[in-house]
Amino acid sequence: MDSLSPLERSERMSRVKSRDTGPELAVRRLVTSLGFRYRLSSKGLPGKPDLAFHGRRKVIFVHGCFWHRHSGCHLARLPKSKIEFWLTKLEDNRKRDRRNVAHLRAEGWSVLTIWECQLRRPEVVSARIKKFLGT
């Protein structure tokens, strides 16, 4: 049973952003501080990557642990109500992510996924980005 009324639940869910999230902004700041230039949400690419480096044919996805089901992460826990609905929805997200990465790689793109929980250690994420982008 949901602890919120349908109206309250609707209002709360409407506040969930699909872009310009805190983790995305943190990664953008890191990438910019490393001196790289990128494009945002390239709609022409499968999955609309959060950051695209067209000249390098590389993309970065910034995934929220809950929405994209980060394996073994405490932030990826399931809600207590409507478990069947959420499990189906979140597993579909995970399958779509795998499909998009496969399409990108088939088109010759390199893909890096950064998880929300990894941003607690920005120095590690920064090193991964440097290595990925080839500096």
Quote the DSSP letter at residue 113.
E
39 within a domain of the structure (yes/no)? yes
Determine, yes or no, domain membership for 7: no
Task: Examine the pLDDT at 92 and tell me if it is beyond 80.
Answer: yes
**Residue 8 belongs to some domain of the structure:** no
pLDDT-derived band at 18 (thresholds 50, 70, 90) equals: low
- The 10s digit of each residue's pLDDT in 99-125 is 999 999 999 999 999 999 999 999 999
- 125: exposed, middle or buried (C-beta count within 10 Å: 0-12, 13-18, 19+)? buried
**Inter-residue contact 4 to 12 (CB < 8 Å):** yes
pLDDT digits (tens, 9 = 90+) for 25-79: 999 999 999 999 999 977 789 999 999 999 999 999 999 999 899 999 998 888 8
Domain count, the chain: 1
Q: Are strands 39-40 and 58-63 parallel, antiparallel or unpaired?
A: unpaired
For residue 110, give its domain range: 17-133
| 80/57 Cα distance (integer angstroms) | 41
100 inside domain: yes
Global confidence as pTM: 0.85
Question: Are the C-beta atoms of residues 57 and 109 closer than 8 Å to each other?
Answer: yes
